[in-house]
Amino acid sequence: MLLCLIIGSTVAAELPEPTLPETAPEPATTRGRVQYMIEETGRQQERWSDWIVRTANRLDRFFFNLSAPSHARRNATFDHFFDDRGLDYTEQDTVLRLSPGLTIKDGEGTDPSFRYALKLHLPRFENQVDLVIANFARDETVDDAFRTGRFNDSILEEETDRSISLRATVRETRRLRLSLSTGINFRPEPVPVISARLRLEERDGIYVRRITPTLFWDERDGFGQNARIDFERHPTPVWKQRSSTFFLWSETSEGVEASQTFSVFHAPNRRRVHSVHAGATGTLEPSAIVTAYIVRYNLYRLIYKNWVYLEIEPGVQFPREQDWEATPFINIQFHVLFGAMR
Amino acid sequence: MKAVYPIPLRPASHYRPLGNLALFLLFINLGLGTSCRSSRILEFEPVHPDVLQTFLDTSEICPEGYSLIEIPNFLRAMGMQENPGFITNTSELEAMSRFGGTDPFLVVYGTGNTICLMVNGIFFEDHSRIEPFLRDLEMRRRLRIAVYEKPRLDGTWIMICAINPTRTYSEAELTAIREGLERQQKNLKSRLRFNRLWENPH
């Protein structure tokens, strides 16, 4: 509650005011008007991005000052005039992502959605802590590789209206990364959640082996653990092939669940990534049963400057519960970014 | 000559919550931190104790309409006994020492309780450490600063003159600040390294 109040008061402070155009009055021609609107949108995006970064700085300073001795606390006025020069300005990594989207699924009609996720980077905490506020939560019971762009058939994720979490990287080396996450999911009642994720990676020429075990606890659903094992091959800088195996056990899962996905990625440049995924999911215990197959294509493309992306994902599922009948779907989603874009 | 710090300058991480302690400290302090907000000014022995008086007597930088102002909370937060004064806030001392700077001082000008112009001086014994510091400053595009360099036999003073990057200054104020900076540059025989005071505020 206290955290929410602090964030609320900080976020509300110095909201950017809507600005009048700095340039000439609105042009009369349609083409000129469109151009004007695009430029104005760009200006507003810059203003809001700047505000988001400044808000993140304020929160970071606030949290730092709570845990620092009085003679080491940062002063907001001094930092406003001179910056905190002890911080590397390039380390800013705060981003707000707005994702309006649409899913069309055979037999289920059209499902519009709107997601947001605000990641506030807190560099004064050794550059290891992020505060994440979103209207959805990462669902540890779903395989990332099997997850589609917008839906993952997870009841948990649909139930979560909002979430707030602190994510900290406890240890990171070239081969190892240990991160902790703690927070609250609102479903709508607040449910505390904690997870610890370890990532071990080994590179050998064009091959990469990676194992990512996770332990998680959710006050309502109890303990669980999952593990993902990836084998990757990078034949050229723009092509990547991956095999992902995922195992899950939790107090609410039906025995041990597993999925297997094969993926091919093509990233000709930083503006565009194509990928094709084919996989199966099911349970291993008490008996080995495949519950669904899926094939999907994903296009993730930068469409405007460095802050608007389009994701298109057509695919088809074959669920056992529908007698393996092909269930096509398509996800279309925009991702609009504000904050510190790299 | 090395700077004498009664406050031992420890690694940056000393005053920062370390990795796996971060969350713990954060939550503990959410509850307790606000009740421990007493602040104290630490002992500090600058290598160049005369620099403040020299700056005040010689530079004549104070823009017309402004004066040296005393804002107790601000001075206390920066660990300053008075205005102008040496900064003893350990976070700022650490930040400067990482760049090779010592003896940071601050001069605060304004009207009433409004800070309009600040001058932050930092001494660099090793001249080669200045350029990385200036490059870092130049990359901080948000700031409205003019940076001057004043070489001495035992090192170099860098003086950063900063105005509020989000405040709108009147033409009269801007003229007064410009004239003040010109007087300072002439009187102290300092060299302008770069000036971004007059760029549009964000």
Looking at the 3D structure of chain A, how many domains does it have? 2
Instruction: Tell how strand A207-218 and strand B155-163 pair up.
Output: unpaired
Contact A168 B22 (CB under 8 A): yes
B34 interfaces chain A, CB cutoff of 8 Å: yes
Cα distance between residue A214 and residue A148, in whole Å: 20
DSSP string, B21-79: GHHHHHHHHHHHGGGG----PPP-B-S-TTHHHHHHHHH----TT-EE---HHHHHHTT
Q: Do A36 and A99 belong together in one domain?
A: no
Each residue of B56-86: pLDDT tens digit? 889 999 999 999 999 999 999 999 999 999 9
- The pLDDT value recorded for residue A10 is 54
Q: What range defines the domain where residue B76 resides?
A: 12-195
Q: How many CB contacts within 8 angstroms connect chain A with chain B? A: 126
Q: Which residue has the higher pLDDT, B9 or A100?
A: A100
- The pLDDT value recorded for residue A24 is 54
Q: What range defines the domain where residue A317 resides?
A: 90-339
The shortest C-alpha distance from B109 to chain A (Å) reads 13
In CATH, what number is assigned to the domain containing residue A217?
2.40.160.10
- The pLDDT value recorded for residue B50 is 86
Q: Do A275 and A163 belong together in one domain?
A: yes
Cα distance between residue A16 and residue A200, in whole Å: 43
Q: Which residue has the higher pLDDT, A86 or B43?
A: A86
Cα distance between residue A67 and residue A73, in whole Å: 9
B143 interfaces chain A, CB cutoff of 8 Å: yes
Q: Is residue B5 in some structural domain?
A: no
The shortest C-alpha distance from A86 to chain B (Å) reads 4
Q: Do A150 and A12 belong together in one domain?
A: no
| Strands in A80-221 per DSSP E | 95-105, 109-122, 129-134, 162-172, 176-186, 190-204, 207-218
Q: pTM of the full predicted structure?
A: 0.75
In the predicted model, is pLDDT for residue B169 greater than 60? Answer: yes
The shortest C-alpha distance from B25 to chain A (Å) reads 6
- The pLDDT value recorded for residue A21 is 46
Looking at the 3D structure of chain B, how many domains does it have? 1
Q: If pLDDT is split at 50, 70 and 90, which confidence band does A30 have?
A: confident
Q: Do A74 and A149 belong together in one domain?
A: no
- Please give the DSSP secondary-structure letter assigned to residue B4: B
- Please give the DSSP secondary-structure letter assigned to residue A271: T
A84 interfaces chain B, CB cutoff of 8 Å: yes
Q: Give chain B positions within 8 Å (CB) of A50.
A: 142, 202
Q: Do A184 and A324 belong together in one domain?
A: yes
Both tokens assigned to A290? 């495949």
Q: Do A74 and A121 belong together in one domain?
A: no
Q: Do A117 and A77 belong together in one domain?
A: no
Last residue of a domain, one of A59, A82, A105: A82
Neighbours of A267 (CB within 10 A): 15
Both tokens assigned to B133? 């510091």
In the predicted model, is pLDDT for residue B89 greater than 60? Answer: yes
Last residue of a domain, one of A82, A110, A145: A82
Q: Do A122 and A269 belong together in one domain?
A: yes
All residues at 6 or more sequence positions from A322 whose CB lies less than 8 Å from its CB, including other chains: none
Contact A81 B140 (CB under 8 A): no
Q: Do A218 and A288 belong together in one domain?
A: yes
Provide the mean pLDDT of chain A: 84
Separation of CA B27 from chain center: 31
- The pLDDT value recorded for residue A144 is 60
In the predicted model, is pLDDT for residue B170 greater than 90? Answer: yes
Contact A68 B26 (CB under 8 A): no
Taking residues A65-88, report their average pLDDT.
90
Contact B20 A82 (CB under 8 A): no
- The pLDDT value recorded for residue A105 is 82
- The pLDDT value recorded for residue A220 is 85
Taking residues A18-37, report their average pLDDT.
69
A125 interfaces chain B, CB cutoff of 8 Å: yes
Q: Which residue has the higher pLDDT, B53 or A13?
A: B53
All residues at 6 or more sequence positions from B51 whose CB lies less than 8 Å from its CB, including other chains: B103, B105, B121, B123, B157
Both tokens assigned to A238? 């723009």
Q: Are A246 and A220 in contact (CB under 8 A)?
A: no
- Please give the DSSP secondary-structure letter assigned to residue B83: S
- The pLDDT value recorded for residue B12 is 40
Contact B92 A128 (CB under 8 A): no
If you measure CA to CA, which chain B residue comes closest to A127? B19
Q: Give chain B positions within 8 Å (CB) of A171.
A: 19-20
The shortest C-alpha distance from B6 to chain A (Å) reads 14
Cα distance between residue A59 and residue A80, in whole Å: 14
